Amino acid sequence: MAISSILGYPRIGVDREWKKSLEAFWAGKIDEETFQRQQQEIRLNHLRKQQAKGIELIPVNDFSNYDHMLDTAVMLGIVPKRFGYEGGVVPLSVYFGIARGTKEATASEMTKWFNTNYHYIVPELGDALPTLTENRPLLAYREAKEKLGIEGKPVIVGPLTFLKLSKGYAANETDAWLERLLPLYAQMVRELADEGVKWVQIDEPIVVTKLSDEDAARLKLIYTTLTEAAPSLNIMLQTYFEAVENYRDIVSLPVKGIGLDLVHGLDGNLAAIREYGFPADKVLGAGVIDGRSIWRADLNEKLALLDELRGIVPEERLIVQSSCSLLHVPVSTERETKLPAELKGALAFADEKLDELVLLTKAVSQTADAVREQLNAADKALGLLKNSAARNRRDVQESVTAIAKQEPGRSKPFESRYSAQQHKWQLPLFPTTTIGSFPQTAEVRKARQLWRKGEWTNEQYNAFIREQIDTWVKLQEEIGIDVFVHGEFERTDMVEFFGEKLEGFAFTQNGWVQSYGSRCVKPPVIYGDVAFHEAMTVPETVYAQSRTNRPVKGMLTGPITIMNWSFVRDDIPREQVAYQLAYALRQEVEALEQAGIGMIQVDEPAVREGLPLKEADQADYLAWAVKAFKIATSTVQDTTQIHTHMCYCEFHDMIDSIEAMDADVISIETSRSHGELIYSFEENTYKLGIGLGVYDIHSPRVPDVEEMTGMIDRALRVLDPKLFWINPDCGLKTRGREETVASLRNMVEAARNAREKYSLALK
C-alpha cells in the first residue's frame, strides 16, 4: 500500500508562537532554558498534528531555531572565526550571532533559497575545520520517538547542495571540501542506522539546476559512500522546485528512494518517467501536492497522475507526498473567517494539504469511490472561484492585452534624461538617500492597530502619520540627506499596503509565512483580475514634499515584487498577472507625477528570486519582468527620475536585464556580499545611476565612517563616480530610531569625505 508523507512543516506555529519565543529570547525577556523548552513544545505540537491527521512518514529535524542551512553549518562546526567559536556544540549566542550579527562581528550573508521568498544564511567555509559537533537528525529522531512514539524521518541538507550554496572557497577546492565533509555525513547516517532509523530524507534540490559532469561524479561518490556507511538505512534522495537534470543518472544512484517534484517539475519529471521508467529497486516519492501554493488541489487530476504512476511503480513502492517542504505556506485556513466564500473554499494551507495527502493516499490504496464525496466537494469549490466575477473582468483583460502588444520605453535615452535631471535637481556628487522606510516603532504599530479597530478615526490616524512624517523630514534635514523619503509609516508591509488598495486582492487574517529568521510576512492573495481603484501613495508623499525644499521620492512596490511576494492565482500565466499589476501601477506613477513628485522609486527586490531554475526558461521570464517594469514606469517626463531597488540576491547573471529596466537610479543591497557584486561590475559595465548599499540594516550594530568609506572606495573602482549614489542596503523599518540616526549620520559623513576625495580627481 502507498503511504503519505511531507518534506517539512511550517516552523512558526498557528499563532506565530515560534516567532514570539525567539524575539522574547533575543530581548532578554526569557532565559535560554525557557526558550529551549518553548521551542521543544512547538516542535512536538507540529509532530502531534501530523500524527493526528494520519501522515504516516513524518519528517523530523525539519524544525529550526532560525534556518536549516545555518543548522547544518553549525552541526558541521563551520563557524566564521570572527565569532570566537572554540569548538564543541555551538552555543546559541554564537548561532544567533552568525545569523544576526553582534556588536563586534558582522552577520553572515543572507540570500534567497532557490527561487522562493525564504532566505537562508550562507555558510562561510573559509579556513574552518569541519567536525560533527552534534548529530541533530539523531536527536530529533529520538525526541519524536521517546515523546510521541513517532518513527520519524530525519531530514538532512545533502552534501552537494550544502557545498554549492556555501561560500568562502574556490571552485577547484570543491573536491577537497567534499573530502572533509563526507566522513561527517557518513558518521551521521551510520549513527542513525545504529539507532534503528528506517528512512532518512537527504535534500539535494541542487540537482534540479544544471550540473557539471564533475558534479554528477560527486553525487555518485556521495551516495555510494553514505550507502556503504549505513547499508540498512533507507535513503530518500529528495529533490524539489523543478524537474531533475540528468534523470537517468539520478535514479541510478545507490539509494532506496528518489523524491521528485511532480508539481513545478511535472512536465520534465513525468516525461522522463514515461520515457525511461523507474528503477524496480527504488521507492518513488511522488510530490503531487504543491508545497508552495495556497490553492486547493484538483484532486481528480492528482489521482489521474497517481494512477499513471501506479502503472509504472507498484503502489507499495509509492510515497504520496508534498512537492517540497510546507515551510512556504501558512499553517491553517481554520481561522480565516473574513474571506469571500468562493475564495475560502478554494484554499489549502499546510494543514489542509495534510488532509489532501491522506485523502489521495487512501484513494490510491483503496479506490477513488472511497473518497468520492471529498473529490466532488473539491471540484465544486474550484469551480465557484473559476466562475466568480473577480476572475472575469473584461475591462481589465482587454486593456492589459492591448498594452502587452506594445513595447514600452522612455521617450529619450538615459544620457539625455540624466542631463535634464541634473539640471533640474542640482544634486551633489554622490547624492545620499535612503531606501524608503524608517523605523516602525511600537507607537506606530499601536496607532495603526487603533485605527484598524475603529478606535481612531481616519482624521486621527492621518494626523498621527503626518506627525511621524514631520519628525523624520526634520531628522533628514539635520542629518544632511540629499533626497528624502516620507518614511512609509502608514504601511504595514510593502506588498500588503498596495494589495489593500488594488482590486483583485484578498487578505488573510493568519496567513503568515517565514521570510527570514523571525521575520514573518502575510502575503496578499491575488485571486482575481488586478485593477487600479484610486491613488494609493499621493497624499503622504505630497505632504512630505510640502515640508521640505529637498526632493522627496514617491515610493511604490514594483509589479514583479508584488507578484512574487504574493500568493498568485494559478489559472492564468504569471506573465499576465505581472502586466495587470504593471498597468495598475502605471496609473499610480502618473498620479504622483501629476501631483508634482519628480522622483519616483518603484522597488523590485524580488525580480531575481522569481528567476526560473532552468536556464532554458530564464530569458523569457526576464524579458517579461523587464517589460512589466517598463510598462509601469515609462510614461513619465524626461525630468522625472525613476529609481528602483533590489536586495539579497545573486545578480551576476542578470546585470544586462537590470540595465534593460532603464531605471535612472538603482540601489542594490551589497553590504553582506559587497565583494561579489563588485566583481560582477568588473565583468559587466553599468552605465546608469547606481547605489550599492554601504551598510547592513538587518544588524543592530552601527557601522563606522571608515567601514562605509571602504565600501564606497571599492565600488568606485568599477563604477562611474558621477553616477554613484550612497544609501543603506535596504529599508529601515525594523531598526530602532537611535541606531538609524547614528548610522545615517555616519553614512552622510562618509559621503562628504568621498566628495572631498574624488571631486578634485573629476575636475
- Residue 521 · residue 565 · CB < 8 Å: yes
Does the annotation place 472 within a ligand binding site? no
Reading the block at residue 426, the C-alpha cell is: 542640482
Does the annotation place 669 within a ligand binding site? yes
Q: Hey, what amino acid is at 621? A: Y
Does the annotation place 86 within a ligand binding site? no
> For residue 153, what is the enclosing H or E element?
strand 153-157
DSSP 653-706: T-HHHHHHT--SEEEE--TTSHHHHHHHHHHS---SEEEE--S-TTSSS---HH
Residues 6+ apart with CB under 8 A from 377: none
Instruction: Choose, from 264, 328, 674, 698, the residue flagged as catalytic.
Output: 698
Name the DSSP class of 327. Answer: G
Distances from the Cα of 73 to the Cα of 90, 131, 267, 624, angstroms:
10, 10, 34, 37
Does the annotation place 689 within a ligand binding site? no
Beta-carbon-side half-sphere exposure of residue 568 (alpha carbons within 13 Å): 20
Rounded to 5°, angle at Cα 615 from 612 and 618: 50
DSSP 363-386: HHHS-GGGGHHHHHHHHHHHHHHH
**Is 698 an annotated catalytic residue?**
yes
673/668 Cα distance (integer angstroms): 11
474/4 Cα distance (integer angstroms): 59
Q: What are phi and psi of 322, to 5 degrees?
A: -75, 155
Does the annotation place 603 within a ligand binding site? yes
Does the annotation place 324 within a ligand binding site? no
Name the DSSP class of 665. Answer: E
Selection from 277, 308, 326, 418 nearest residue 116 by Cα: 326
Does the annotation place 659 within a ligand binding site? no
The secondary structure of 293-322, three-state, reads CCECCCHHHHHHHHHHHHCCCCHHHEEEEE
Residue where the block lists cell 535615452? 413
Question: How many Cβ atoms are within 10 Å of 160's Cβ, its own excluded?
Answer: 24
Torsion of Cα atoms, 645 then 646 then 651 then 653, to 10°: -80
What is the three-class DSSP state of 515? strand
706/718 Cα distance (integer angstroms): 20
DSSP strand E in 550-660: where?
Answer: 553-557, 567-568, 599-603, 641-646
Selection from 658, 414, 421 nearest residue 558 by Cα: 658
Q: Is the dihedral of CA 260, 265, 267, 272 positive or negative?
A: negative
Does the annotation place 731 within a ligand binding site? no
356/364 Cα distance (integer angstroms): 12
Distances from the Cα of 711 to the Cα of 436, 669, 725, 741, angstroms:
21, 12, 12, 19
Residue where the block lists cell 473584461? 394
Distances from the Cα of 245 to the Cα of 208, 209, 272, 538, angstroms:
5, 7, 10, 48
Does the annotation place 394 within a ligand binding site? no
Does the annotation place 436 within a ligand binding site? yes
Reading the block at residue 623, the C-alpha cell is: 524579458
Reading the block at residue 209, the C-alpha cell is: 539546476
Q: Hey, what amino acid is at 656? A: D
Selection from 229, 70, 71 nearest residue 140 by Cα: 71
Helices (H), 551-614: 559-564, 574-594
Does the annotation place 609 within a ligand binding site? yes
Does the annotation place 756 within a ligand binding site? no
> For residue 504, what is the enclosing H or E element?
strand 502-506
Name the DSSP class of 452. Answer: H
Does the annotation place 503 within a ligand binding site? no
Angle between helices 538-546 and 574-594 (to 10 degrees): 30
Residues 6+ apart with CB under 8 A from 383: none
Does the annotation place 649 within a ligand binding site? no
User: Binding site for L-homocysteine, residues?
Assistant: 435-437, 488, 603
User: Binding site for L-methionine, residues?
Assistant: 435-437, 488, 603
Catalytic residues: 698
User: Binding site, residues?
Assistant: 16-19, 112, 435-437, 488, 519-520, 565, 603, 609, 645, 647, 669, 730
User: Binding site for Zn(2+), residues?
Assistant: 645, 647, 669, 730
User: Binding site for 5-methyltetrahydropteroyltri-L-glutamate, residues?
Assistant: 16-19, 112, 519-520, 565, 609
